[in-house]
Amino acid sequence: MKKLLNEQQIAERIFGHIDNKSTDLGDTVWKEPVDSYMSRERFDAEIRLLRRMPVVFCPSVMLSEKGSYIARKAAGTPLLVVRGEDGQVRAFINGCRHRGMPVAKGSGCSRSFVCPYHAWTYGLDGQLRHIPGREGFPGVELQDNGLVEVAAAEKGGLVYVNQSSPIEESFLKNVPDFFCGEQQFFDQSEYHDESNWKLIAETTMEGYHIKSLHKQSFYPYGLDNTNIVETFGANSRVIFPFKRIEKLRGIEPAKQSLDGMITSVYQLFPNVAVSILSKHSTVTIFEPLSPTLTQILIYRVTNRASDGNSVDVEEAMRDAVFVKAAGFDEDREAACSIQDTLGAGANQHLTFGYFEKAIVHFHKQLAEHLSV
């Protein structure tokens, strides 16, 4: 797996780009057919891909206590992810083994899961513990009727699930560590946008649009089309520098700190973005609901301060409000507007050029994985 640049290397490359009025470039122009954003057949293939790959489900901090859980659909499958009494995170299909009713909703903390339909009760390990009126179910053994488990694992502050096969150690070894125990969950958002999931995901993978789309929001603070773009495996990292990085000029490289000077956005293939911002970080999941409808889930956690402790929650919240105002809503609106034009016949494909290296990498990886 390719090693990512360290802080000193990042700063050096950013200053080089600023001085030369340049940016990291790709070497391929990619033309993605518009049908990829509208086709039911393509959508169904992408859902099958999401079900057979390790995909981020949530930050680990969301499941910080024994019994804490999140129940939601992932790639169309109702899942229940819970931290057990032994501290391990497990994932189950959220369907009672009696008549299929979901046994949990939303998020919370519980010692057991009781089906609201007939009160069949399951432990945090998914085992069936109790059947009311058990004499009415001869031959239905508790040990044979636990919740159906799917693979789950934790690495670097994130919980991954794989709905079809175990999660290999080699996969976990090659994903970065993002979060630590000192960081705190403080907010989450959910949106339903009328656009294909790939259109909104693409907005996180390039800085070519900063000056034009975010002229009054992010651009006054950031640099236009000045980015570092790295790929590692099927994933990518795009670094967006703030103009204030100029404060580091003349400081000895070993003493330079990029905290608050850049935003790093990791695209974790296929449908998750982890953004490390000034005072907080986000885990954004682009959950496909239909070819033209996306559920966007955003989990927000505090960053680590320079002293190793967590950034104050109020500071993190102010940072989150700025980020939403400084571009996120504009990105969402752009994706929905593009979706509106795709069926009009103006374009047979969308074109991604050298400035959109991470998007080209994303589509190459998607094409390769869908062909398997």
pLDDT of residue 326: 66
Spans of the chain, pLDDT less than 50: none
Beta bridge partners, 154, equal: 159
Strands 55-59 and 158-162: antiparallel
pLDDT of residue 182: 81
Which one, of 82, 74, 295, lies nearest residue 201 by Cα?
A: 295
Judge whether 324 and 330 are in contact, CB under 8 Å.
no
What interhelical angle do 40-52 and 357-370 show, nearest 10?
Answer: 90
pLDDT given for residue 325 in this prediction = 66
**pTM across the whole model:** 0.95
From residue 338, alpha-carbon distances to 34, 38, 282, 285, 369 in Å are 10, 12, 25, 20, 25
Among the residues of 75-223, which ranges form H helices?
169-173, 197-202, 210-213
Question: Which listed CATH number (3.40.190.10, 1.10.1580.10, 2.102.10.10, 3.30.470.20) goes with 55-166?
Answer: 2.102.10.10
Domain regions of the chain by residue span: 7-52+180-370, 55-166
Minimal CA–CA distance to 132: which of 114, 151, 148, 149? 114
For the chain, first and last CA: distance in Å?
A: 21
Give which of 318, 214, 299 is closest to 260, Cα–Cα: 318
What pLDDT, on a 0 to 100 scale, did the predictor assign at position 34?
Answer: 97
What pLDDT shows up at residue 372? 82
pLDDT tens sequence across 336-360: 999 999 989 889 999 999 999 999 9
Determine the Cα–Cα distance for residues 163 and 77; give it in Å rounded to an integer.
9
Whole-number pLDDT of residue 254: 87
CATH superfamily name and code, 7-52+180-370? Naphthalene 1,2-dioxygenase Alpha Subunit; Chain A, domain 1 (3.90.380.10)
